[in-house]
Amino acid sequence: MSLENRLGIYWLKGVEMTSVVFIRDYIQLGFEGIYEPATLNTYTLPTVQNNKYTYSHGTKGYRDELCSLINKKVEKVILVENEGIKLVFEMNILLEISLRDEDYEGPEAAMFIRGDETVVW
């Protein structure tokens, strides 16, 4: 899918994250917009960078850091094809989903769903 068709992810700018759901081998992030909610499924598990620490799956505090993003707004969305999806939250907390081939755990790295729109990486 071309980059133009994947721009829906930029809808997250200015939106609060409302939930984190740990589902077996992936994580589902919920967001609440003014008119409709959105979901970002992360099949390649994200990292969270908070100040000088980086948390990845399996490290102490990882789940706590993800949950600390609930009620925080996304201030910036950066999408770099074959590189990663970066969400910069309030307090300069960075959540990153790798789109590098070597980091894929399966056929997809992430899926963004909002209304009738579904975008897959």
Q: Which pLDDT tens digit goes with each residue over 62-121?
A: 999 999 999 999 999 999 999 999 999 999 999 999 999 999 999 999 999 999 999 999
pLDDT of residue 3 exceeding 80, the answer is no
Q: Is the pLDDT of residue 6 over 70?
A: no
Give 9-13 contacts, CB < 8 A, sequence gap 24+. 9/40, 9/77, 9/79, 9/85, 9/112, 9/119, 10/77, 10/79, 11/38, 11/114, 12/38, 12/40, 12/74, 12/77, 12/87, 13/74, 13/75, 13/76, 13/77
